[in-house]
Chain A
Amino acid sequence: LAKTAQPISMDSYEGQEVNITCSHNNIATNDYITWYQQFPSQGPRFIIQGYKTKVTNEVASLFIPADRKSSTLSLPRVSLSDTAVYYCLVGDNNAGNNRKLIWGLGTSLAVNP
């Protein structure tokens, strides 16, 4: 399955918009792009998923260009509680293939006062 590349770390301040970009040059036709958030001492938590163009929910927006070789997670007006590790994953939606998802190191986001 497609591998991804994302920055190891990012810093921001409260109230700012944060954009985390993930590269996935080998994304397949059936693949979705999914982002997870992980706080210390907790398991990853699903944030958002998309296939193309733009997806928005109460937590974040996901922007996917036409070639789908990258995606950008956008967190509006971050707060201290958004400090976490953010993972970008690419794969189809079949439960059997979730086991093949490659979890990298993610992006460690630090939100400062």
Chain B
Amino acid sequence: GAGVSQSPSNKVTEKGKDVELRCDPISGHTALYWYRQSLGQGLEFLIYFQGNSAPDKSGLPSDRFSAERTGGSVSTLTIQRTQQEDSAVYLCASSLEQESNYGYTFGSGTRLTVV
């Protein structure tokens, strides 16, 4: 597709359950980012993938969070044993390795609600 696609758009889960969030980046974009946005807050960086390099996981808030990127394209963010504080919008973005004059492109996000 033309843009970054995320699924599901909304997810309600019970505390303690695992969830998987999917991101389909723009074709040809080698860089992929996951962010979290809590209500009324700015974006919080979680993890960054660039080509075949080891991902930068420095933003993951705990070891319950993990992410994969298969074949340099689709990425999955997994949250194990979800907690209520994990409730947020999870945003994925992609870009070319070197951006000039147009930043990076975000998906519409997955709104996660842990009850």
Q: Return the chain A residue nearest B107 by Cβ.
A: A43
Q: How far is the CB of A23 from chain B (nearest CB, A)?
A: 16
Count of residues in B whose CB is under 8 Å from the partner chain: 34
A101–B93 Cα distance when bound, in Å, is 13
Taking CB atoms, residues of chain B closer than 8 Å to A34 are 103
Tell me if A93 counts as interface (CB < 8 A to partner B): yes
Taking CB atoms, residues of chain A closer than 8 Å to B92 are 43
Count of residues in A whose CB is under 8 Å from the partner chain: 23
* A residues lining the B interface (CB < 8 Å): 34, 36, 41-46, 49, 87, 93-96, 98-106
20 residue pairs of the A-B complex, CB under 8 angstroms, read A42-B108, A43-B93, A43-B108, A46-B102, A49-B102, A87-B42, A93-B98, A95-B30, A95-B99, A95-B104, A96-B31, A98-B31, A98-B48, A98-B93, A98-B104, A99-B33, A104-B42, A105-B41, A105-B42, A106-B42
